[in-house]
Structure 1
Amino acid sequence: MQLSIHAHLEYAFADPTDLLLQLEAAPLPEQSVENATLELTPCEHTARVPAHDGIGERLWLRAHGRLQVDYRATVVIHRILADCSTLARIEPHRLPGETVQYLFASRYCPSDQFESFVHATFGELSGGAQVIAMRDWIHDHLSYVPGSSNAATTAADTFIARHGICRDYAHLLITFARAAGVPARFASVYADGVEPPDFHAVAEVFLGGEWHLLDATGMAREGAMAKIGVGRDAADVAFLTAFGEATMITQAVQVVSVE
């Protein structure tokens, strides 16, 4: 699978503002990045730093006035796919150290508040079969409504409202999985078939000794996602974080897949 990616952003900053940008597909064993270009309006400061878990990079910028960002790349997906429903849950005492942080509640994923619900609803299942049942429950019980949530919306808010956007679906699946003792993290991806076209968010769960991408919205397939970065929740993987006032002028994402 090959993905052709084009992302274009234009923002305005009334004052000199520090920005953290993360929108480039990450070079990984599971995906190779080819013909990548990143064009930026000249900034006062530009520096690359490693992103969360060393997956991808973040770009520090100091911008003033109008900023244009244009990113293009071709990503070839080499990901080995598995039937998650057949995979086992790794007992906590056997988990690799780097996965442990993804067992705990985080800003948008209050998993400690969902342990009783998860046990009552999914307790008869285990491992991958349990996580797939969680994904399907979210898909069946939530409505995808663009603009229905904001930067303060948590998985608990989404659970009550029963609607949201991709990040809300991902946060709720992560919350359920962690409540069942399965490490789960937030993944920012490019994916074909996302409506409306935009940066996409999915969950990534640790089953059978490996990480696996799951999209509760049903819009993206694991074998057709290009990973940008990962984190505990959306706060760790925002495509643009402004440490000051920012005005969006335009934003467009286009992803085309070639089998």
Structure 2
Amino acid sequence: MTLSIAVHLDYELTRPMDILLQLEAAQIPEQQVESQSLDLSPCEHVASVAAQDGVGERIWVRAEDRLIVDYRATVAINRILTPCDTLDRVPLHQLPGETVQYLMPSRYCPADRFHDFVDGAFAGLEGGAMVVAMRDWIHDHLRYVPGSSNSDTTAADSFIMRKGVCRDYAHLLITFARAEGIPARIASVYALGVDPPDFHAVAEVFLGGEWHLVDPTGMAREADMVKIGVGRDAADVAFLTAFGEVKFNAQSVTVERA
């Protein structure tokens, strides 16, 4: 599978400021970036830095007045796909060191508050079968409602409101998995099938010794996702983090079969 990606961002800046972008497809073994281009409006400073866990890169930009970004890429997906429900949980004492942080509660994923719920709701299930049941529970109990959450909304809020957008669905699955001792992190992706087209957030769980993408919204398949970056929760994978006030002018994301 090869995907063609196009992104356009246009923001007004209230003053000269630093901005951190994370929107380039990651060059990693499971996907090959065949071509890409990044065009920025005039900036005082531009520099690429490593992103979380070495998956992809972030871009530091120092700009003023206005920031316009145009990104295009063609990416071939070479991911080995294994049905999630066939995968085993890795015992805690055998987990690689880099996965341990993804067992812990984080800003948007208060896993320590969900032990009793997941123990009851998913009793008798293990490993990938449990993750699939968690995914299905979220898909069946939450409504996808654009604008129903904001930058302060946690998985606990989404659980109570029973609605949200992709990041809220991902946060809740991550929270459930961590509460059961399964490492889970958020992944920012480009994906076919996302409606409306946008940067998409999914969960990634560590099962069978590898990371596996899971979309509880049901909009995207693992085979059709291009990974941008990963992190503890949405705070780590924002496509644009401005260290100052910005005004939105325009934004578009297009993902198509190449």
TM-score by length of 2: 0.99
Between the aligned partners of 2:95 and 2:35, the Cα distance in structure 1 is 37
The residue number in structure 1 matching 2:128 is 128
Between the aligned partners of 2:158 and 2:166, the Cα distance in structure 1 is 11
Between the aligned partners of 2:63 and 2:147, the Cα distance in structure 1 is 27
Between the aligned partners of 2:123 and 2:243, the Cα distance in structure 1 is 43
Shift of 1:123: 2.0
Shift of 1:82: 0.2
The residue number in structure 2 matching 1:140 is 140
The residue number in structure 1 matching 2:218 is 218
Do 1:224 and 1:257's aligned partners in 2 also have CA atoms closer than 8 Å? no
Between the aligned partners of 1:99 and 1:64, the Cα distance in structure 2 is 38
- Find the residue that maps to 2:174 and give its secondary structure: helix
The residue number in structure 2 matching 1:183 is 183
Between the aligned partners of 2:103 and 2:141, the Cα distance in structure 1 is 24
Between the aligned partners of 1:257 and 1:131, the Cα distance in structure 2 is 29
Between the aligned partners of 1:70 and 1:141, the Cα distance in structure 2 is 37
The residue number in structure 1 matching 2:53 is 53
- Find the residue that maps to 1:25 and give its secondary structure: coil
Q: What runs of 5+ residues in structure 1 fail to find an aligned partner?
A: none
Between the aligned partners of 2:223 and 2:96, the Cα distance in structure 1 is 25
Cα deviation 1:36-82 (Å, max 9, x = unaligned): 00000011111111000010000001111111000000010000000
Between the aligned partners of 1:2 and 1:172, the Cα distance in structure 2 is 30
- The alignment's C-alpha RMSD in Å is 0.6
Between the aligned partners of 1:49 and 1:17, the Cα distance in structure 2 is 18
- Find the residue that maps to 2:194 and give its secondary structure: coil
Which residue identity does 2:242 align to in structure 1?
A
- Find the residue that maps to 1:15 and give its secondary structure: coil
* Corresponding pairs, count: 258
Between the aligned partners of 2:73 and 2:241, the Cα distance in structure 1 is 22
Shift of 1:20: 0.4
Q: Quote the sequence identity (%).
A: 69
The residue number in structure 1 matching 2:88 is 88
Between the aligned partners of 1:118 and 1:257, the Cα distance in structure 2 is 38
- Find the residue that maps to 2:16 and give its secondary structure: strand
* 1:7 equivalenced with 2:13 (yes/no): no
The residue number in structure 2 matching 1:27 is 27
Which residue identity does 1:229 align to in structure 2?
G
Between the aligned partners of 2:209 and 2:190, the Cα distance in structure 1 is 24
Q: What runs of 5+ residues in structure 2 fail to find an aligned partner?
A: none
Cα deviation 1:73-114 (Å, max 9, x = unaligned): 001000000011011000100000110000000000000000
Which residue identity does 2:30 align to in structure 1?
E
Between the aligned partners of 2:193 and 2:254, the Cα distance in structure 1 is 10
Between the aligned partners of 2:4 and 2:44, the Cα distance in structure 1 is 30
Which residue identity does 1:146 align to in structure 2?
P
- Find the residue that maps to 2:158 and give its secondary structure: helix
Cα deviation 1:209-235 (Å, max 9, x = unaligned): 000000000000001100000000000
The residue number in structure 1 matching 2:201 is 201
Which residue identity does 1:251 align to in structure 2?
Q
Which residue identity does 2:96 align to in structure 1?
P
Shift of 1:119: 0.2
Shift of 1:124: 1.2
* 1:158 equivalenced with 2:158 (yes/no): yes
Runs of 4+ in 1 over 3 A off after TM superposition: none
- Find the residue that maps to 1:23 and give its secondary structure: coil
- Find the residue that maps to 1:169 and give its secondary structure: helix
